[in-house]
Amino acid sequence: MAHIFSSLPFLRGLMAFWYHFAIMFEALFVLTLIDAGTRVTRYMLQEVGGMAVPALRAWKGLAPSVVFSALAVAGWGYFVWTGTVSSIWPMLGVANQLLAAFALTIGTSVLINMGKARYAWCTLVPLAFMCVNTLTAGWLNLGVNYLSPQLAAGAPDLWRAFLAAPAPAKLQSVVTLVIMALLVVVVVDSVLHWARLARRRSGTRQTAEALAAS
């Protein structure tokens, strides 16, 4: 990042500044993303745990927060412990794009539900880009990051490379595929909802026009 910025016209003498800016940016980005992800995971674990074991819903106070936070930290900490920060970084990138796609999908749904579908293109265009970006990056992660040693060793395809990969690489591949599947499920379900809503409104409009004509 520092090299790219310092290559711009009139910015060649600011290499030291861009270097420290890149360190600060990446550190803040990573720490903020990990903090937000840990909090969200804790809430999800508590919600899902309460659905599976209703007694957990009555568990209040500091103890459940500590326990579920520890489970959330153990989840992403496993990847760092069995590898390096580079092991989790590609997944963070894909997950970050996934959240952006979710936000754009929700925004599109809000616009359509408010009767302002004519403005939906403002969110549909970047949503299409984020879908292509997330799915492409996730698929490339499998061959470029997680299973590259096995492919370089002669594995004929991704499936054979997956079978020959160590447990951490297999888990990374599965998590990435789950992320990609979640995106497809959410987008397809949203499109079906938008189509049902459009048909319902079209039927209501035709009924109103028929009543007005009669």
Distance CA 45, CA 50 (A): 8
CB–CB of 197/113 below 8 Å?
Answer: yes
The pTM assigned to this predicted structure is: 0.71
Per-residue pLDDT of the chain (214 residues; tens, 9 = 90+): 677 777 777 777 777 777 777 777 777 777 787 788 788 888 888 888 888 888 777 788 888 888 888 988 888 888 788 877 777 778 888 888 888 898 899 999 999 888 888 888 999 999 999 999 889 988 998 888 888 889 888 888 888 999 998 888 888 899 889 988 988 999 999 999 988 888 887 766 666 666 666 6
137: number of Cβ within 10 Å: 18
Distance CA 2, CA 189 (A): 41
CB–CB of 12/2 below 8 Å?
Answer: no
How would you class 169 by CB atoms within 10 Å of its CB: exposed for 0-12, middle for 13-18, buried for 19 or more?
Answer: buried
HSE on the CB side for 44, CA within 13 Å?
9
Q: Is 73 helix (H, G, I), strand (E, B) or coil?
A: helix
Burial per residue of 26-61, b for 16 or more beta-carbon CB atoms within 10 angstroms, e otherwise: eeeeeeeebeebbeebbeebbeebeeeeeebeeeee
Distance CA 173, CA 152 (A): 17
HSE on the CB side for 50, CA within 13 Å?
11
Q: Which token pair is 163?
A: 């079978």
Kindly report each contact of residues 45-51 with a partner whose C-beta sits within 8 Å and lies 24 or more positions away, as own/partner. 45/71, 45/72
